Homo-oligomer: A and B are copies of this chain.
Amino acid sequence: MTYCVAMMLERGLIFMSDTRTNAGVDDVSRVKKMHTFEISGERSMILLSSGNLATTQAVVGLLEERSKAPDDRDPSIFRTLSMFQTAKLVGETLNEVVANMRIHDDQPTAHAFSATMILGGQIAGSDPRLFLIYPEGNFIEAKADNPFFQIGEIKYGRPILSRAYDPQMDFAEAAKLLLISFDSTLRSNLSVGLPIDMGVYKRDSFKVGPFRRFDEHDEDFRAISHGWSDALKHAFSRLPDLVVPDE
């Protein structure tokens, strides 16, 4: 499994992803699921990936290859005219990779090679935009009514996002919110694991970052993880007591 989230804020975009990949519970490794594509000053994009690792690495690999020598290896992620076109390119690249894998699959099963991705960023001349790209290569965009996307193990960490998200948050608050959401997920699903990667994109900066990696020794992550348990218990005790009548 995987857990990745990206949120749209007034001041930009924030991304977070775990790093665990596994084939069964007896084959666990670490992999970075956050990928950056940037021409400083002109376009800045971050891609988060979940699903089949061979698929997601092939997609990112193809996007990188084709961006290195765009003249003879089209289409390049550095030549799209908008974030919408970029999302379409990523979706088409995903379709291409999965179609190639299926050719060699003797017993095709639905979703065997499938992957889901989040793409966010900004191209000079328009606003930052955020997309969720489905395994079929089609995609939806984040708007005011659905300002964040989650992929992978989305349920454990969703209630706090729904309740505490505010588009006017600064990046420090948003990072805290995402870490709480990740902590809830890490506690419940072994296939989501530390370290956690965070990436920030400030509106109109056309430069991704800062980035930060949180591992189990990270003081901030530990403070939030422990502090949140205490804060929840405190919040719980502050709520009015229910009357359960004796019969």
Contact = CB atoms under 8 A, between A and B. Distances in A.
B220 A239 contact: no
B159 A184 contact: yes
Contact of A235 (B235, B245, B247): B235
Interface residues of A, number: 48
Interface in A164-193: 164, 170-173, 175-177, 179-180, 184, 187-188
A241 interface: yes
Nearest to A205: B247
A199 to B, nearest CB: 11
Chain A interface, >50% SS class:
helix
Nearest to A220: B242
Contacts of A244: 170-172, 175, 200, 210, 212
A247 B200 CA distance: 11
A122 to B, nearest CB: 16
